[in-house]
Amino acid sequence: MKLLRFDGGRIGVLHEGSIYDVTEAAGGDPKRWPPVDMVRLIANFEDRAAAIRAAVECGRPIDPDKAALETPVPWPNKLIAIPVNYLAHAEEMRSPAISRHAGFFMLANSSLSGPSEPIVLPDLPGRSIHHEAELAIIIGRTGRHVSREDALSHIFGYACSLDITVRGKQERAIRKSYDSFTPVGPWITTADEVGDPHALDLKLWVNGEMRQEANTRNMILDIPEIIAMCSAVMTLEPGDVILSGTPEGVGPIGDGDTVRIEIPGVGAMEVGVVQGEGGSNVAIPKTVMEGA
């Protein structure tokens, strides 16, 4: 199943090229704050799945081009990211901080955004702001100290994600947590439809030019190891989002660019880039050049 959010927190299913509104069958209430309907749905998915399928069968198809798609899980308990999880990316960044040694880090949940929202660049002239294409893992059930053997059973599904990054020496949490810096979408494809998550092509284009092309088989830490590692430290909850790291080919984005990510079998999304205002601060001053 391909589960999505659209038009102000409604829950939908993409089926045969159309969106079906399953908000009611999913127990959703778009007016509810905080927006945790998708987290609740993931936690109770087995109980809700039959009603959702029925709602698709008798629902009215909506043209996806006429819907504003939002990030599927806007309010997860955790947004986790894996640094440098492909060797060729470690080489291009000359980075010793590969995932096997560095582990993982946290991003602000508020950096999440959806396919219909632009990436808004902070006003930091002279700093490189890069795209990173990543496979996002969506956790399906609560787990602590999850073994490698059990890890895949804790996964609800997968999505495309971008880990937009101001390059520099400051903490990753600052450089990667600007609002809109973590587009995830366009929907969650449930794990049963994805098959082997270590055999997925991952591609990214900027303005139609391919910049990143890799396969998830080349991850340094595979997905069971990522889940074992994270859950050794903290309880993973339904709806938690883990960005599994980017391959080689990262590069700058700027005002007016269009970034497209595609993971066949999972999804594809295209987001615009716009120049915003503000964003400099005591750690990332506007006037300091990259590398300073």
* Residues 159-178, interacting with Mn ion (CB under 5 A): 163
- What is the pattern of x (binds Mn ion, CB under 5 A) and - over residues 217-236? --------------------
The answer to the question of residue 202 lying near Mn ion (CB under 5 A) is: no
Strand 241-243 relative to strand 201-206, pairing: unpaired
Q: List the x/- string, 135-164, binding to Mn ion by CB under 5 A.
A: ----------------------------x-
Among 132, 177, 191, 247, binds Mn ion (CB under 5 A): 132
Q: Which of 194, 193, 210, 213 is nearest to 202 (CA)?
A: 213
Please identify the residue of the shown chain whose CB is closest to the bound Mn ion.
163
**CA of residue 144 relative to chain centroid, distance:** 22
Q: How far is the CB of 54 from Mn ion (least distance, A)?
A: 39
Question: Between residues 18 and 218, which has the closer beta carbon with respect to Mn ion?
Answer: 218
Total binding residues toward Mn ion, as defined by CB under 5 A: 3
262 binds Mn ion (CB under 5 A): no
CA-to-CA dists, residue 196 to 59, 80, 92, 100, angstroms: 31, 21, 27, 22
Question: Does residue 244 bind Mn ion (CB under 5 A)?
Answer: no
* Range 10-14 contact pairs with CB under 8 angstroms and sequence separation of 24 or more: 11/37, 11/38, 11/41, 12/62, 12/67, 13/52, 13/55, 13/56, 14/64, 14/187
Q: Give CA angle at 72 (71, 76), nearest 5°.
A: 95
246 binds Mn ion (CB under 5 A): yes
46-54, 240-248, 264-272, 277-285 -> range binding Mn ion (CB under 5 A):
240-248
Which tokens go with 112?
Answer: 């999440």
Determine, following the binding rule CB under 5 A, whether residue 212 of this chain makes contact with Mn ion.
no
Beta-carbon contacts of residue 264 (< 8 Å; ≥ 6 apart): 200, 201
Nearest distance in Å: CB 22, Mn ion: 32
Contact by Cβ (8 Å): 190, 49 = no
Q: Which lies closer to Mn ion via its Cβ, residue 23 or residue 246?
A: 246
Residues that bind Mn ion (CB under 5 A): 132, 163, 246
